[in-house]
Structure 1
Amino acid sequence: MLGLKEDSPLEMLRQFAVYFDADLTENFGAAQLFLDNKEGKGSISLYEIFPGLTAWIYDINLNSELVIDMTFSEDKPYYFGYNVNGYQLQKFPNEDQYQKIQQGQNFVIIGKPGNKAEFIVPSNINYECCYLIINPILLQNSLAGSKRRLQQDLKETFDLSDRENPYRYFGNIDTRTGTYAKIVVRNKRTDLVGRLLTEGAVMNLLGTQIEAHDYDINTENFQPNLSKKELSRITNLGDYILKNIGEKITIGKMSNHLSLSPKKLQMGLRFLYGTSANEYLTKCRLEFAKEMMHTTDKNISEICYSVGYQNRSYFSKVFEERYGILPSSYRQSFSGNNFLFEISYRSLAAENVSGNEVDSIIKTARNMNPLHNITGSIIYHRKIFFQMIEGPKKEIITLFKNIEKDSRHSDIQVMWKGSKLKRDFSDWSMATISDEGILKVPQQGETKELAINNLLGKLDYRALASENLWRKVRNIIKISSKN
């Protein structure tokens, strides 16, 4: 049984990764768990559409049934779900029998803080399901009026103020919702193009689920007037836009590239993304601009011109309309000295590095990190370093540049880097995990239960150096730091 603590979707996915001993990769606004071991095969993915709305996707075949014992948090998230293929079982603690959620069925579940719910994902079936996880607190705190309106609409539709128990709604079989759910589940791309495809389908999916909840409308005959090949071509439009992001792109150019009439292009974009061609082009430009703010040092004007806008004022206007904040304010929100940033990496120690030198590295980190408001953890095992450092972005980037120049290690592979909302190691200036007898520094932090053998097992050197192993270790350490 997986004892799941309700948290942010990414933190919950980490709990799944540790439970399954699976690889977890993180992208900008997306993450994907890959399973291929004795537990089963497949993936569990998530896409953050915007803060407060995340798509959680199962596409998995398990060798034994998965029982999830979930404890609800104080945030009272909404869970909108749809089973594309297969079924699942669900019950609350006061119920004797499980309720079956059928294939093709809408469902909505809202927990009460501290209460629990059990879910069972059956074994030996290709289980495909899409959950939309909505955090009303994050929506309410959003600067964008549309997101606050969504939060208010949900509050009015699902008024739980007088309820003593969690809320559950199992709807009718709904093929219109299924059309959008299939797009979300079967889209395997986690890059910008994949995120936009998922975003369009998710917003349509959410709309049809709320509509089905309110009116139980039968929409059996909903189908776009396009072939599967034509729809598939339209999903590749984003690649064309990104390759020409700084150029003038017209509907005619897009239609010619896809060998589709403008009418069919518009029809397909409306179906897949819920937008017109010009609106989709704008989304691509703005999403790419946002990524550039996170990953480059270009100023706002340079980014504006790089993504195809010739007028910075207009760029700022459309950016604010989409995200509820001016680009300069958005850039400042995560580039300031107090914004948290993390870098996790694996490297190979130089042949001549002794235990005393590793001790010196750890002691220096423990002495210097507090001065720069940096915390983290380090593993040293069989001549391999694995380190996670977190703190103000400017300080972390400066530190990592110095780490890259250090001749005492080589073959540095970054497992993950990016912004974060809170620290994982608030009390550890540099927690140390090692079973190397050559080290003399004491362990710091509650790391004794995280013995190297428990983390890594008996692995050969090639396996120890692999990237996916250290991604798994990163997830284990993060979950352990919370406990």
Structure 2
Amino acid sequence: MNKLQVQSLPLKDVIEDIAIGLKTSYIQACSEYIVQIPEEWGQGSIRGINFEGGLGLLIYECKFYSDLEISFTVGETHPLKFLFCLEGQLMHHFEKSDEQHSLSQYQNIIVASKGLDGHVVNFKENVYTEIYSLEIDRKTFNAGMSCELKKTKPSLRKIFEDQNAAQSFYYNGLYSLVLGEIFDEIKVQSFDHFMKKIFLESQSYRMLVQQLIQYDDDSEGNLDKQILRKSEANAIREAVEIMKSEIDSLSSLHSVAQRVGLSSKKFQNGFRHFFGKSANEYLQGLRLNLAKDLLINTNESLKEIKDKVGFNSQSYFTELFKKIYHNTPSGYRNEHRKKKRLD
């Protein structure tokens, strides 16, 4: 295993230490600092940028050819860290603890070390890993938020008020769909340096707000969380593919929800978020749209079409079809054929 030692703050000096450890140099693009991973070590880059008010952002987009450990040991109070794993895997532990915290795709953790203890992160060999890390100097950050922090919920206040690091802090979860959209926006932005810094600062604060909303949601202790997670969004997409491929034989939507690992409530919430309708309404739409295509493009009987699109009742199929297309299935077919002959 290769090991790097980072013994500096702020992020400019963090990037410089990483570059020294990798036996390379870093690039300064105005207030952004970038180290490209040397070919003998791996691929990708690590970027850092500091903003006013004690907030900074580190972005790891890299793959290492051997296991790599980076130890952050500064000899002073470390920043509060919000880490998000977009891809790959990362292991984290506090400097004086052997307890490992695993961070995989769509997971996030909030960590603060105790006293002057540092952080140790491990990258697995030949695994492309994408990590966003919000870094907050609590003393600087709190100076501008003292009144607001006093009036916020205790569960949120405790993350920030321990600015002298009397206790360690650890939280893990699955990051929300909104956070996933923020990361996507960051990855495709193409602003110049002036606009880029403003954009990244605004996105960093959005990340912080959304993470705190999510943390508050998790702190409520409900088994069925109110906020849709990125992993759950992927489960909804998987459910859609199941519906399409098994449209003629689906026994129940409850079984689909179980197969993709969602509760019935989260399953329905997901469909309403993405499609503005319930899962049952979405499935009916798929069935009726397929039925319309079969009526137009095949000579299959109404019973064959009814069976192929997954309706048990001919009368119910006719009722729903007429509600959407303002005609019966047979009338719709005849009308289309008549129009085609006239053309």
TM bin, normalised by shorter chain, reads 0.5 to 0.7
Counterpart CA distance in 1 for 2:7 and 2:54 is 18
Query: What displacement does 1:212 show?
Result: 1.2
After TM superposition, the structure 1 = structure 2 runs for residues 15-34 of structure 1, keeping only pairs within 5 Å, are 15-34=17-36
After TM superposition, the structure 1 = structure 2 runs for residues 289-328 of structure 1, keeping only pairs within 5 Å, are none
Q: Which blocks of at least 5 consecutive residues in structure 1 are unaligned?
A: 224-483
Q: Which residue of 2 aligns with 1:137?
A: 139
After TM superposition, the structure 1 = structure 2 runs for residues 33-112 of structure 1, keeping only pairs within 5 Å, are 33-93=35-95, 95-112=97-114
Q: Is the 8 A contact 1:49 1:199 kept in 2?
A: yes
Indicate how the Cα distance of structure 1 residues 185 and 78 shifts in structure 2: closer, same or farther if over 3 A, else same: farther
Counterpart CA distance in 1 for 2:27 and 2:102 is 32
Query: What displacement does 1:201 show?
Result: 1.7
The two structures have a TM-score, normalised by structure 2, of: 0.56
Q: Is the 8 A contact 1:72 1:113 kept in 2?
A: no
Indicate how the Cα distance of structure 1 residues 33 and 71 shifts in structure 2: closer, same or farther if over 3 A, else same: same
Match for residue 195 of structure 2 among 193, 201, 204: 193
Q: Is the 8 A contact 1:76 1:136 kept in 2?
A: no
- SS of the equivalent of 2:60 reads strand
**Structure 1 residues 311-345: Cα deviation after superposition (integer angstroms, max 9, x where no partner):** xxxxxxxxxxxxxxxxxxxxxxxxxxxxxxxxxxx
After TM superposition, the structure 1 = structure 2 runs for residues 122-201 of structure 1, keeping only pairs within 5 Å, are 122-140=124-142, 145=144, 155-160=157-162, 165-185=167-187, 187=189, 191-201=193-203
Q: Is the 8 A contact 1:84 1:182 kept in 2?
A: no
Q: Which residue of 2 aligns with 1:452?
A: none
Query: What displacement does 1:134 show?
Result: 0.9
- SS of the equivalent of 2:37 reads strand
Q: Is the 8 A contact 1:106 1:174 kept in 2?
A: no
Q: Is the 8 A contact 1:92 1:117 kept in 2?
A: yes
Counterpart CA distance in 1 for 2:147 and 2:62 is 35
Counterpart CA distance in 2 for 1:150 and 1:17 is 38
Query: What displacement does 1:93 show?
Result: 4.8
Q: Which residue of 1 aligns with 2:209?
A: 207
Q: Which residue of 1 aligns with 2:261?
A: none
Q: Which residue of 1 aligns with 2:327?
A: none
- SS of the equivalent of 1:12 reads helix
Query: What displacement does 1:95 show?
Result: 4.2
Matched, 1:5 2:7: yes
Counterpart CA distance in 2 for 1:156 and 1:172 is 21
Indicate how the Cα distance of structure 1 residues 161 and 204 shifts in structure 2: closer, same or farther if over 3 A, else same: closer
Query: What displacement does 1:161 show?
Result: 7.7
Query: What displacement does 1:150 show?
Result: 7.0
Indicate how the Cα distance of structure 1 residues 71 and 175 shifts in structure 2: closer, same or farther if over 3 A, else same: same
Percent of aligned pairs with the same amino acid: 18
Counterpart CA distance in 2 for 1:162 and 1:136 is 8
Q: Which has the larger radius of gyration?
A: 2
Counterpart CA distance in 2 for 1:41 and 1:35 is 5
Indicate how the Cα distance of structure 1 residues 115 and 43 shifts in structure 2: closer, same or farther if over 3 A, else same: same
- SS of the equivalent of 2:140 reads helix
After TM superposition, the structure 1 = structure 2 runs for residues 67-466 of structure 1, keeping only pairs within 5 Å, are 67-93=69-95, 95-140=97-142, 145=144, 155-160=157-162, 165-185=167-187, 187=189, 191-216=193-218, 217-220=226-229
**Structure 1 residues 124-150: Cα deviation after superposition (integer angstroms, max 9, x where no partner):** 122111111111222345xxx5x5567
Indicate how the Cα distance of structure 1 residues 164 and 114 shifts in structure 2: closer, same or farther if over 3 A, else same: same
Root mean square deviation, CA, Å: 3.0
Counterpart CA distance in 1 for 2:148 and 2:33 is 25
- SS of the equivalent of 1:112 reads coil
Indicate how the Cα distance of structure 1 residues 6 and 44 shifts in structure 2: closer, same or farther if over 3 A, else same: same
Q: Which blocks of at least 5 consecutive residues in structure 2 are unaligned?
A: 219-225, 234-343
**Structure 1 residues 355-403: Cα deviation after superposition (integer angstroms, max 9, x where no partner):** xxxxxxxxxxxxxxxxxxxxxxxxxxxxxxxxxxxxxxxxxxxxxxxxx
Indicate how the Cα distance of structure 1 residues 51 and 25 shifts in structure 2: closer, same or farther if over 3 A, else same: farther
Query: What displacement does 1:70 show?
Result: 2.2
- SS of the equivalent of 2:26 reads strand
Which letter maps to 2:179?
T
Counterpart CA distance in 1 for 2:146 and 2:30 is 24
Counterpart CA distance in 2 for 1:52 and 1:162 is 15
Q: Which residue of 1 aligns with 2:245?
A: none
The two structures have a TM-score, normalised by structure 1, of: 0.41
Q: Is the 8 A contact 1:58 1:128 kept in 2?
A: yes
Indicate how the Cα distance of structure 1 residues 159 and 199 shifts in structure 2: closer, same or farther if over 3 A, else same: closer
Indicate how the Cα distance of structure 1 residues 203 and 212 shifts in structure 2: closer, same or farther if over 3 A, else same: same
How many residues in Structure 1 have an aligned counterpart in Structure 2? 219
Counterpart CA distance in 2 for 1:32 and 1:66 is 18
- SS of the equivalent of 1:59 reads strand
- SS of the equivalent of 1:81 reads strand
Q: Is the 8 A contact 2:26 2:36 kept in 1?
A: yes
- SS of the equivalent of 1:113 reads coil
Indicate how the Cα distance of structure 1 residues 164 and 220 shifts in structure 2: closer, same or farther if over 3 A, else same: closer
**Structure 1 residues 126-179: Cα deviation after superposition (integer angstroms, max 9, x where no partner):** 2111111111222345xxx5x556776665444448985421111234222222
Counterpart CA distance in 2 for 1:168 and 1:54 is 19
Q: Is the 8 A contact 1:75 1:136 kept in 2?
A: no
